[in-house]
Every structure is written in structure tokens, then in C-alpha cells.
Structure 1
Amino acid sequence: MTSLDASAKTLLELHVPGNPVVLPTVWDAWSADIAVAAGFSGLTLGSHPVADSIGRTDGEGMTFDELLTRVAQVTASVQVPVSVDIESGYGLEPLQLIDGLLAAGAVGLNIEDTVHSQGKRLRSPQEHADLVRGLREAADAADVHVVINARTDLFLRQDGDASDRVDRAIARLALAAEAGADVLYPVGRHPDADLRRLATELPRPINAIAQPNTPTKSHLADLGVARISFGPFLQRTLGAEATTLLAAWK
């Protein structure tokens, strides 16, 4: 077993429904070091905070190579598993994405179903599943069980009628699970009943997003969540605190 594969399996084992792993969403070596020093056992790099940190925009305003530069800096600085938000894949083939991530030391990824390079269209459920399958096959070929977190933006986009949105999200993410996803990410803020249903009916552990200044871990655990991340909110919370500190020096 390679060290990368061992790290990937460690990351996967942290995903326990009802006892969620918190993966602070970081953007550089500094923020990663802070999170690890605080006692967290894994990290995720978010596309939005990474893009903000290098003067780019979210939605693939940075290149995959720019993202990988940050990933390599983080993995060189910390000794915990690192997952990376690769947005919708930057128009690259699965093999390119997996090879780039592994070369930079990452062992997990988030993949979205919004295609930023094509007018932000939503991939069909099968198209998204096919991409997940390609990523799984590329990871298998590299002998590393990269932890694939398949994300849907149905809720963020408020796509279609709200009355059957949870049904459509479950159907879409179930296809991704069949294709090889390890974790499923119906990104957005959900009523408790909807989140419990997603956690109960989906065939893989689910990821929920949280505000870092809101103590919701136990609540999300009770709903069956297996993974918690912060998206851009940790960076925004720290930014607001810095603004308050600096205001006193005007």
C-alpha cells in the first residue's frame, strides 16, 4: 500500500454517519497549519477561498495548475489527508485531474455538476455519474482509492420545482454513488427533515456545509451527517474579524 493510498483510506474511514468528521475548508499552508494545530484530522481546500486568496474568482476563474500549486503547498506543510474542490473539472479529462491531484499530494476531491466553462449549465444526472465513474477508474489505475465527494448544486441553483427537488437530488446522487462516489454532497442549507431524509435515503455518507461560528456539529450528527465542511465561510468569518481589528487602527 502506498502512502497516498493509506492516507486516502484514512480519510474515507473518518466518514461516519452520526459521528461526522469536520474537515475545515482551508486555502493555503497558513490556514491549513492553524486547522491542524487546532486538532483536526483532515482538511479540504475550497475553490472559492483558494481563488480569493490568489485574486481569482470562484467558478473556475483560476486554472487547475494554479489550484494545484496551492494544494502542493498545503500537503507539504501538514501531515493529514487533504481533499480538494476541483469545481466541475476545469474541462479536463478524469486522468488529468487524478494525476494532478495525486502529484500534489491530495487524496480526495469534490466534483460539482455545474459546468462553469459551458455557461454554468447543469450536467444531466447520467453525465455527472459518468464523470464520477471516469474519476474512479483513473484513481483505480493509480492504485489510490481517492475519496470522491460527488456534489449536486440543485439546491444552490434552486433548480426546477421545489416540491420534488429532494427526490431529484436523491436520484442524481444515487447514480453518482453507483458510479463510484464515496461521499455525496447536496450542497446548501436544508430544513432538518430534508437533511435527515437525504442522510437516510442516500446510499453513501453525506457532506453538509456549516457556518464555523455556529455550533451545529451535534445537531448535524443527530441528522445522520457524516462529513462537515465550511465552504467559503471560515475565510469570510476570519476576514470579518480582521476587518473589526483593523478598524480600530484607522
Structure 2
Amino acid sequence: MSKQDLQKSAAALLALHVPGTPVVLPTVWDAWSAKLAVDAGFAALTVGSHPVAESVGKPDGEGMSFDELTARVAQITGAVDVPISVDIESGYGETPQRIIDGLLSVGAVGFNIEDTVHKEGKRIRTAEEHAALVGELRRAADAADVHVVINARTDLFLRQDGDEANRFERAVSRLKLCAEAGADSLYPVGRHDPDTLRRLTSELPLPVNAIALPDQDDPASFGPLGVGRISFGPFLQGALSARAGELLARWR
């Protein structure tokens, strides 16, 4: 993909992030699932680390290498012509330059970056450390002259980190630092009740990514809460797996 094509794709992905009118990025894991989503009419996709790992028999949590991930992303971008964002977990221990170069080389124009460092005992980066990494990734993307869409994620809710009494405030604070460092959207990953999600979207300065259960949640419920982006994490693959299990059980 040429630089001009990458620039156009990145701009198109960014423009889809509208609080109150959320873009739905179905979480895919291979060329088949990507084509399924595009044929259903979706304008952009995200590649999920968990479902990709499951699809190749590796554990989530950077059980794959960055090169293995980008090889799978290349298959997806070769099969569909829509903007692709990639869950790169905590960065696979790679430098920001190598991450940006690797993603652009396979036609991806966005990514999630989380604050759980899998290769270091799954510790959580400090707020300042995570924001600094986001800033380094933004500068690497700027040097490549492509506005790669950065979805900065925190795992504080998912991991129930620290004191629950101030967890919300700590999550908002660290995501605000990521916004200042150059993120484009913010991902307080976890299943939140409507009031919490509304508080998050009202207090955070960028579009907020919510995770949805594709077989259970009401698609119309997220917009009124101010959400700007919806993805499925491992839950689309899980729902399809459950249905496949039902079908196969008929033939045991």
C-alpha cells in the first residue's frame, strides 16, 4: 500500500470516531472473519489479539510474536479493502519505531496499546510511563507521515486494580495523559454499566471505546451514552464458537 493510500485509510478511520454516533469495528482474526464483516457492510475493522491467538493455537497475552501478528494482519488487509486497526497488546516488547513500521508495512492504520506489560510479569505501567509510550508511538507515526489512529487502553477496570474507591478517577487521569500525549481515542476496557459509561464519555476528552457483546447488547444503547467506538474483543469469536458447538453437537 502506498503512503498516500495509508494516509487516506488512516484519515477515513479517524473520521469514523464520532461521540454519540459510534463506529462499530467488528473484532476479526483472519481473512475469513474480515470478509464476513465487510460483506455485512462494516466500513472498518479491528483485529483482536485474543481471537487471533486462539485462531493459531497460542495464548493471549503476547503468546504470539509481533511478526506472527503482522503476518496475520497482512492476510486480512490482503483480503479486504477497509481501514484496519490492530490490538498490539502492550507492544510485544518492540520499539515504537518497529511497531509503526511493522503495522504500516502490512497496511494497518490504527492500533490499541494497553498498559499491562505482559513480558514483565503483567505489571501495569504507571500513568506517566503509559502516556510516554503513547507519545513515542505518535512521534514515530508522525515521522512516517501517516496519522495512525491510536486507541489508548487502560486495564484498571478489567484487572480491578487498586482501591475501587478511586479506580474511576485513576483511570480517567491516566487516559487524559494519553490524550495529551497524542492518542485519538480512549479505551477504559471492561463491561461498564450505563451510568459509568456516561461518566467516562463526559469526563474524557476524546472518543471512548466501549466493548459490546454482539449477540446480547442493544446496538442502539451506546450512542446515547456518548460512546464513539465499539468493538467486540473476544466475544464475536466466542458467540460464533458457541453456535458452531451447537451445530456440531447435532452430529456427534
Q: TM-score range by the shorter chain?
A: over 0.9
Distance 1:52 1:129 in 2: 29
Residue 106 of structure 2 aligns with which residue? 104
Q: 2:168 aligned with 1:166, yes or no?
A: yes
Residue 2 of structure 1 aligns with which residue? 4
Distance 2:218 2:148 in 1: 28
Shift of 1:194: 1.1
Identity %: 67
Root-mean-square deviation (CA, aligned residues, Å) is 0.7
Residues 130-169 of structure 1: pairs in structure 2 closer than 5 A: 130-169=132-171
- Correspondence for 1:243 among 224, 242, 245: 245
Q: 2:19 aligned with 1:17, yes or no?
A: yes
Distance 1:59 1:171 in 2: 25
- Correspondence for 2:97 among 95, 98, 116: 95
Regions of 4+ moved over 4 Å: none
Structure 2: 5+ residue stretches without partners: none
What SS does the aligned partner of 1:110 have?
strand
1:83-133 residue CA offsets vs partner (Å, 9 max, x unmatched)? 000000011110000000000100000000000000000000000000000
Shift of 1:216: 2.3
Per mean C-alpha deviation after superposition, the further-off stretch among 214-223 and 237-246 is 214-223
What SS does the aligned partner of 1:2 have?
helix
Shift of 1:221: 0.7
- Correspondence for 2:54 among 52, 55, 71: 52
Equivalent position amino acid for 2:4 in 1: T
- Correspondence for 1:66 among 60, 65, 68: 68
What SS does the aligned partner of 2:19 have?
coil
Distance 2:232 2:31 in 1: 17
Distance 1:217 1:138 in 2: 35
Shift of 1:164: 1.2
1:186-211 residue CA offsets vs partner (Å, 9 max, x unmatched)? 00011211110110110110000000
Distance 2:126 2:46 in 1: 26
TM-score by length of 1: 0.99
Q: How many residues align?
A: 250
Equivalent position amino acid for 2:90 in 1: S
1:108-160 residue CA offsets vs partner (Å, 9 max, x unmatched)? 00000000000000000000000000100000000000000000000010001
Distance 2:149 2:32 in 1: 24
Shift of 1:78: 0.4
Shift of 1:215: 3.5
Distance 1:216 1:21 in 2: 14
Distance 2:18 2:227 in 1: 8
Residue 178 of structure 1 aligns with which residue? 180
Residue 226 of structure 1 aligns with which residue? 228
Equivalent position amino acid for 1:248 in 2: R
What SS does the aligned partner of 1:139 have?
helix
Distance 2:113 2:217 in 1: 27
Equivalent position amino acid for 1:140 in 2: D
Residue 195 of structure 2 aligns with which residue? 193
Structure 1: 5+ residue stretches without partners: none
Distance 2:239 2:217 in 1: 14
TM-score by length of 2: 0.98
